[in-house]
Amino acid sequence: MKKSLLFVVIATLIVACQNNDPFTPSTEPLVVTGYNGVQSRTAFGTPDSSVIPYIWSAGDRVWLGGQQSSALTEDSTLARFEFDGGTAIIGSEGHIFYNMTDEANSAKVLATQSADGNLGNDGDFGYALLDEFNTFCLEHKTAYIWFDTKTTDDDMPKLNSIKVSTEGASIAGERTYNVANGDWDNTITSGSSTITLNFEGGKQLQSANEGVMAAMVVLPAEVAGTKITVVYTFADGSTFTEIKSPSNDFTSGATQRIVTTINKENLVAPGPAYELRVLTFEDEDKKFSPYTLDYAGVEITKWSDLIDDPQYGGPLMYGDCMTAMYTWYDQGNTELTHTFPDNYSYCYWGGGHAISNYWGAGWTDEDRNNHIAKYYGEDYVMENAGNDSMLGWFNVQLMIPVEAHSGENFAVHYGYKDEESYIENLPEVSFADDVARVIDHMWVTNTNYTLNQLYNGVKSEEGNNFGGNWEGLTEDAWLKLVAQGFDEVDADADAEPISEVEFYLVQGENVVTDWEKWDLSGLGAVKKVRFNFLYSDEMGGRFGFTIPGYFAYDDIAVRFEK
């Protein structure tokens, strides 16, 4: 059933509904004639005498005696419905129901409707009694919202949808009409306080509407004195929201009118269709359940419990290299998890992501001794003066030259894979719940250890000889991180990534020494991400990558769809 686009009263529609004498059944073919009654009045905005006449639509059917009529073939203001079985289907009462979404007197108003003008397919519902002339005047028992939406801007984007939300009152759902009481039953099933009206292909707003711009079917509901939220969404994703306080309820057959003028200056730019959840590694943000690293005899109740001491040879990162695994899980937040990979052992020298809070400015050899003295004691430095095997940079491998990007904690990656390295499995983070998501970004920086080697060249000190010929930065030097995305959590070491993104830690003499944002969204939705290094030729040696393969990251953000 449609609402006419003319604000006029069609005389042929104004037919009084009357109750007449009982029927005398016969077996003759039955044709009934239906009129639509005019019952629309404005309620929102400034009331006037405008009305919205109803007309029948092609495809409309009515119910009589539990049987549905044949469908109409064209739009009309007066319709003839045919039934098989003759007047015997009328029974003694002749109840007529207009219902296109359910059977007879059980109405179903949809929570998602189409603005094509056919209200019957959205749940429009009516009732009538057949008279002795086999005619009836339909009384509309659902309610309606008439949108008179306009604009004075010529370049407005098209309107895609209108969403109406009440403060809890069900305006969509399934409800039964009780003819004995002449009213709706109280029970509503599959109720919804929101209805969305969609405009297929979009609707171009005009400065004036020659008729009803759009109409929505709603179940009768008590809304007077409450607030109704109306959200208009446009093709470019922008929105306009207004709050209405109706003075009248949605009563059977009544039409509430919403008159709105929307211009581009009123639109709110679209926001992201997702929320960002951030892994900060901070104790106050911890959500995971406590667990134990059995090999170290340590219970992990907060992120700081994962910070090893000392940084090299500590019980967490080097406690049981053959059977035990250092692991963490951001449970209940980003769902990211990490476990040291198996590279002939599970210790940090085989790669991994260790939690750290170690930091201090400077990356010269003198700075190194100061850093070691800070964490190992000045006596330790004095006792081992000149002994590179005891004072090498690896002793402070978890240090960065700046404070954490936020809070105190961060993660330090170690591990790379090239043609010369012994590493088979690169360090990785994955989603523990096996759901593919977009990792939006992380903040990254170099470690002091890496910066020392980048600026000063490869050292020959014991435990720090990578066998290369690197003597320091040149204009041709470059070093970059590579993140590889995978669509399977259990993808093995030889699996091909589905996506890759890169980030330069070194470009010529430009070196990252502070936190910088690395956009990872280009990986797309993935279940796992591996990290590796790529480098310029002069950074390679007989054992492969000459520079220590470390970088630090913090505040890794993951998109969760709203």
Q: What is the mean pLDDT of residues 297-319?
A: 95
Question: Which DSSP helix (H) or strand (E) runs through 377?
Answer: none
Radius of gyration of the chain (CA): 36
Looking up residue 56, the CATH number of its domain turns out to be: 2.60.40.2630
Residue 511 domain flag: yes
Q: Is 121 left (phi over 0), alpha (psi -120 to 50) or beta?
A: alpha
Q: Is 513 left (phi over 0), alpha (psi -120 to 50) or beta?
A: alpha
Q: Are residues 172 and 141 in the same domain?
A: yes
State pLDDT tens for residues 262-299.
Answer: 999 999 998 888 999 999 999 999 999 999 998 888 99
* Closest alpha carbon to 413 in 424, 398, 401: 398
* Closest alpha carbon to 142 in 113, 161, 120, 163: 120
pLDDT averaged over every residue in the chain: 86
Predicted confidence (pLDDT) at residue 38 exceeds the cutoff of 50: no
Banded pLDDT at 419 (limits 50, 70, 90): confident
Q: Are residues 251 and 291 in the same domain?
A: no
**What pLDDT is stored for residue 92 in this prediction?**
54
Candidate from 29-43, 270-284, 508-522, 546-560 with smallest mean pLDDT:
29-43
Q: Which residue has the higher pLDDT, 87 or 213?
A: 213
Q: Which residue has the higher pLDDT, 465 or 424?
A: 424
- The whole-angstrom separation of Cα 361 and Cα 455 is 15
Predicted confidence (pLDDT) at residue 7 exceeds the cutoff of 60: no
Residue 507 domain flag: yes
pTM recorded for the entire structure:
0.62
Q: Which residue has the higher pLDDT, 444 or 135?
A: 444
**What pLDDT is stored for residue 463 in this prediction?**
47
Q: What is the mean pLDDT of residues 383-394?
A: 85
How many domains, in total, are found in the chain?
2
Beta bridge partners of 189: 174
Banded pLDDT at 225 (limits 50, 70, 90): very high
Q: Are residues 233 and 286 in the same domain?
A: no
Angle of CA points 159, 165, 166, to nearest 5°: 150
Residue 272 domain flag: no
Q: What is the mean pLDDT of residues 305-314?
A: 95
Beginning with the edge strand found earlier in the chain, give each strand of the sheet holding 255-261 in spatial order: 214-218, 143-150, 255-261
Q: Are residues 259 and 294 in the same domain?
A: no
Residue 100 domain flag: yes
Angle of CA points 281, 287, 288, to nearest 5°: 90
**What pLDDT is stored for residue 261 in this prediction?**
96
Q: What is the mean pLDDT of residues 252-266?
A: 93
Q: Are residues 249 and 313 in the same domain?
A: no
Predicted confidence (pLDDT) at residue 26 exceeds the cutoff of 70: no
Boundary-marking domain end, from 266, 297, 314: 266
Q: Which residue has the higher pLDDT, 305 or 475?
A: 305
- The domain containing residue 82 runs over which residues? 2-266
Q: Are residues 195 and 145 in the same domain?
A: yes
Residue 112 domain flag: yes
Boundary-marking domain end, from 241, 266, 291: 266
Contact yes or no for 396/452 (Cβ under 8 A): no
Beta bridge partners of 82: 31
Boundary-marking domain end, from 266, 301, 327: 266
Q: Which residue has the higher pLDDT, 545 or 265?
A: 265
Q: What is the mean pLDDT of residues 70-93?
A: 78
